[in-house]
A and B are shown apart, each in its own frame.
Chain A
Amino acid sequence: MTTMLTVEQILALAPDASAAQAGRGLANQAKWVSLAADEQAVWGECAGSGKNPYQTQIDLQGPAFKCSCPSRKFPCKHALGLYLLLATTPTAFPSTAQPAWVADWLASRAKREEKKATAATESAATQPDPQAQAKRAAQREQKVARGLDDLERWLCDLVRQGLGQLSSQPRNCWETMAARMVDAQASGAARMLRRMARIPASGEGWQERLLEQLGLLSLLIERYKRLETLPEEVQADIRTHIGWTQNQQELLAGEGIGDQWAVLGQRVQREDHRLRVQRTWLYGQTTNRVALLLQFAPGKDAFPAQAVPGMSLDGELVYYPSAWPLRALIKTQQSVSPLGAFSGGSAGITEACKAYAGALVKVPWLEQFPLILRETLPVQRGDKWYLRDAAAQLLPLDATFPYTWELLACSGGHPLTIFGEWDGAALFPIGAMTAERHIPLTAVED
């Protein structure tokens, strides 16, 4: 299903700001020696600083990019420029036959997709030996239990010596423990530890934040110990947080929830020096449910384009099992259209906070709660920013949010619907909607 993306959406695919800027500069017919397109792909040759022009091509289904320039960025500035040029002046692309270098690449992509599909069906077809499976599962439970025991002891040691001692400890005391967790097949716990490792250096109030995380981690370990006594959805949550992964094929085979899903916003954060995570938030306009799409990318790579903020996805989502279902996968997608009027969300801050409390009861480790607030105004009091609702109550905005003035400019004193991630103390806005249009506030952390 190929959809024409708008310029903002194309620029959102850029790996960083300098690539986006360079891509804009290249969206100019004068720079391209040759240009052509057909229904499936777009290709062109761009004059660069080398002897021969660079050959750039885009597979519109995807989209997927390939360019012969030596840049390591993905997509590179030539690919971005070509895509932008297609979006702004489609008439510049005569429809011609695909040259060899385009046809070859598309053919190899098609082959790879086929192979993946057959591998998936094969792996689903082969019946895993139930006995071996059970044995592996039991072994894993043991490993995790031992690992978490070690972790518990380590946490107690930490608390016994006191957080004040942490500044004299080497940084990799966290990393060693995280590696131990990875060995014990508890990668979720390892991720939590790596996040905690960055807290001591995060500025004022770090002891508070660290204590919160330590408390929640120890709660998780405690709950795991009496896992069988808990209801099934809670078990699923605990397992997910410790590091068990759901089989995506199994999930997708389950029943999906169909609706017009509005893509409200996106946020990219760096987990550690290896990994970045992208959270895309969806809202079902009939079912009034929120869904979270989670993607990971190594290093500085770009994320595969999945759901673009400001669009409305007509399709089915499958939720991961949880006491408060949030994370989901796209099962089927019928069509994508620009987001029109939007009517979801809480009318006031009190209502939103009540919903948050309800979610916390079900999943205590919830770090980002999707909060949609209608009829709000961004206001500045002193040098802090807040959202003010119709009842004149203030919700603090996260101090690291970079687009406060842009939000104010788009509001102009008129109320907006603002959507963001709430963590119990501050809101990080990710999207806003006026009566006419959606304003993406995608913040990308490098």
Chain B
Amino acid sequence: MEIWEQLLSTAILGTERQSPALPAQTGALGAMLDKLKDRDPEHLLLGAAAAVTLFRRAGFTAPTDSEPLPKPCADDPRPECTARQRDLLALVLGSKDSKLLEEWLTYAVAANRCLPDELLPALCAAKHWQEAPVPAIGMALGPRGQWLTRQNAKWTDLLQESPAADADWETALPAQRVAILTGIRANDPARARAMLEADWSQFAPKERAALLATFATGLSMVDEPFLEAALDDKRKEVREVAISLLPRLPDSRLSQRNLARLLPLFNFTPAQPMRLLPPTPARPARLEVTLPEVYDKVMQRDGIEEKAPTYLHFSDKAWQLRQMINLVPPDFWCTRWGTTPEELLELCTDNSWANALRSGWTKATLLHRNPAWAIQILAWKQRNEKVDLDINGLGALLPAAYCEEEVLALLKRENVDKAMLSVYSLLERCQRPWSPALAHAVLAWIRQFTARKTTFERPYWAADIALLDHCLSAYAYSVHPTSFGDIFTILQAARQAFPDVQYHDHWEKQFISAEAKMLLRRDMFEAFQG
């Protein structure tokens, strides 16, 4: 409004620098301003400011909206949460604890309850937490939650995890299409592939990569031609997805090509026992490896890079060898040569290309998800700590039963050594809720560890003492809510037995935190029982 701008600029400069010159106004405002004409400049300015302010406020005109409205969300057929369940969700969302949230969501999905409306935004925002349970959140969102995530660009990828009940393939968002395709792929892989092939050229490259990745479910040789064609795609992301999927099919052309290149480089002589006639000494098995000589376009197409990255200490050819070994399932070598993984790992100790071999087998284990090899590699690494081998991610492959046995064995040991640190990562892998045997063993260990005064006198960052923190926290999260046992009495006894130790405050906080978690889990269990 022109007069307001005038008044504002005069007010900012001050009437001594600029006298208020008001443009003429018509109507009621003009008549009111006329009455102020005879005043001194300051009163004129203030009076006019009041009049124009009231005029503007009273005369507010609302703009008209020209954008279309989104369709209202569908009704949720599920019953609502009880007040207690809603309260617990609010408490968990306030605590920012991912594990507790996952547990609440699992209960809610099992009890088929719809989520409270006003907590949906906080729940969607929880996808940014550390180790956020994104699949659990996506599963629990009902029609209203899915409607809400569609409105906010930051939350749309939650739709990937939601069962896409009401979405249409043509009009869906990219994240939703991934969800739809994953759903169809689980039941009818051929139909999913047909749908993808039909619209393949229309999708954006990132979308193509995500959609192609859904082939991981129900992968079979029928998908092989499409994937082989994807190796020629212009975008690297799409090629990478094809390269990660094809090695899982041993009969695929990529695997065959790779084996054809690789087998001539290996020369394995099996062990020979001692013989009396003719007298021959026992000879151990031997493995001879030669490096590939040629690098050609076919290898490049199959995803093998020519130059090694500088941060890894491989020569170029060793790097190519490693990548080729990566593509072959590790069991192949065992069946071909009749050996076991540990033998192979021991065998290549003296080999000049030991690094490439071991690293290649490790990556192959990860790609082909082979638990037996994972166990052997981890065991070998424990025996040979000084050797540089990246075992990141192998822990995720260990089967739960194996982890449980390992933990039980480790906890029985008297001495605390470095292997104890892996107790925590093993505990993470054990199946939740813990079996009674495991819960009992960990409880017994906690009991005897907290009975010692030295526990509370050593600094809590010392490796062996930090273990108590880990075990207590794991216990609080993983034991079934009805069978906590006498953990509370143990902690209370520990508190009272050593009130004057140096690190008392730290342990007090840890105990309170663990107790609070356990009580909350028990409350959640009871709230969803009735």
Contact A388 B65 (CB under 8 A): yes
Of residues 205 through 247 on chain A, the ones whose CB sits less than 8 Å from some CB of chain B are 207-208, 211-212, 214-216, 218-219, 222
Query: B197 in the interface, Cβ–Cβ < 8 Å?
Result: no
Q: Is B285 an interface residue when CB atoms closer than 8 A count as contact? A: no
Contacts of B50 in A (CB 8 A): 215-216, 218-219, 364
The interface residues of chain B lying within 8 Å CB-to-CB of A165 are 14
Given known A-B contacts A30-B519, A211-B7, A413-B147, A159 and B14 have beta carbons under 8 A apart: yes
Q: When the two chains form their complex, are residues A412 and B117 in contact, meaning their CB atoms are under 8 A apart?
A: yes
Q: When the two chains form the complex, which single residue of A156, A350, A394 contacts B42, counting CB atoms closer than 8 Å?
A: A156
Which of B79-117 touch A at CB < 8 Å? 83-84, 87, 90-91, 94, 117
A333-371 interface code vs B (CB 8 A; 1 in, 0 out): 000000000000000011001001100110010000000
Q: When the two chains form their complex, are residues B65 and A394 in contact, meaning their CB atoms are under 8 A apart?
A: yes
Label chain A's interface by main secondary structure: helix
B386 cross-chain contacts in A, Cβ below 8 A: none
Once A208-B8, A412-B73 are accepted as A-B contacts, the answer to whether A424 and B118 lie under 8 Å apart by CB is no
Segment from A21-29, A100-108, A303-311 that makes contact with B? A21-29
A-B contact count (CB 8 A): 163
Q: Which of A110-118, A188-196, A315-323, A377-385 contacts B (4 or more CB under 8 A)?
A: A377-385
**A90 CB to nearest chain B CB (Å):** 13
Contact status B91-A21, CB under 8 Å: yes
B11 touching A162, Cβ below 8 Å: yes
List B contacts of A379 (CB < 8 A). Answer: 65, 67, 69
A13 to B17, CA, bound (A): 53
Q: Once the chains bind, are B8 and A386 in contact (CB under 8 Å)?
A: no
Do B118 and A410 have beta carbons less than 8 Å apart? yes
Quote the shortest CB–CB distance from A149 to chain B (angstroms). 13
Q: How far is it, in angstroms, between the C-alpha of A28 and the C-alpha of B521 when the chains are bound?
A: 12
**Minimum CB–CB distance for B80 against chain A, Å:** 10
- Contact, CB under 8 Å: A364 / B49: no
B152 within 8 A of A: yes
Docked complex Cα distance between A405 and B72 (Å): 15
Residues of B within 8 A of A405 (CB): 120-121, 148, 152
Inter-chain CA distance A393–B60, complex, in Å, is 12
Question: Is the CB–CB distance between B63 and A406 below 8 Å?
Answer: no
Known contacts A156-B42, A207-B12, A425-B57, A214 near B121 by CB under 8 Å: no
B53–A395 touching, CB < 8 Å: no
Of the listed residues B15, B56, B60, B84, the one surrounded by the most CB atoms of chain A closer than 10 A to its CB is: B60
Interface residues of B in 119-158 (CB under 8 A from A): 120-121, 144, 147-148, 151-152
Q: Which residues of B contact A425 (CB under 8 A)?
A: 57, 60
B63–A212 CB distance below 8 A:
no
Contact B60 A408, beta carbon cutoff 8 Å: no
Complex partner residue of B16 from A28, A161, A349, A412, CB under 8 angstroms: A161
Q: Is B64's beta carbon under 8 Å from chain A?
A: yes
| Distance between B310 CB and nearest chain A CB, rounded to angstroms | 44
Give the Cβ gap from B12 to chain A, nearest Cβ, in Å: 5
B412 at the interface (CB under 8 A from A): no
Whether A392 contacts B43 in the complex (CB less than 8 A), given A21-B94, A413-B71, comes out as: no
> How far, in angstroms, from A216 to B185 measured CA to CA in the complex?
68
Assess whether A160 is in contact with B47, with CB atoms less than 8 Å apart: no
Q: Is A124 an interface residue (CB 8 A)?
A: no
Q: Smallest CB-CB separation from B9: which chain A residue? A: A207
Residues of B within 8 A of A215 (CB): 46-53
The smallest C-beta distance from A424 to any residue of chain B, in angstroms, reads 3
> Is the CB–CB distance between B53 and A7 below 8 Å?
no
B16 touches A160 (CB 8 A): yes
Task: Give bound CA distance, A218 to B40, whole Å.
Answer: 14
| Contact flags B384-412 to A (C-beta < 8 A → 1, else 0) | 00000000000000000000000000000
CA distance A388 to B66 in the complex (A): 11
In Å, the complex CA distance between A350 and B148 comes to 29
Chain A positions near chain B (C-beta within 8 angstroms) = 6-7, 21, 24-25, 28, 30-31, 49, 88, 155-156, 159-165, 207-208, 211-212, 214-216, 218-219, 222, 349-350, 353, 356-357, 360-361, 364, 377, 379-381, 386, 388, 392-395, 405-406, 408-410, 412-414, 423-425, 439
A-B contacts, 16 listed (Cβ < 8 Å)? A24-B91, A28-B523, A88-B84, A156-B42, A159-B42, A160-B14, A160-B42, A162-B17, A163-B11, A211-B11, A215-B49, A360-B54, A386-B65, A409-B121, A409-B144, A423-B57
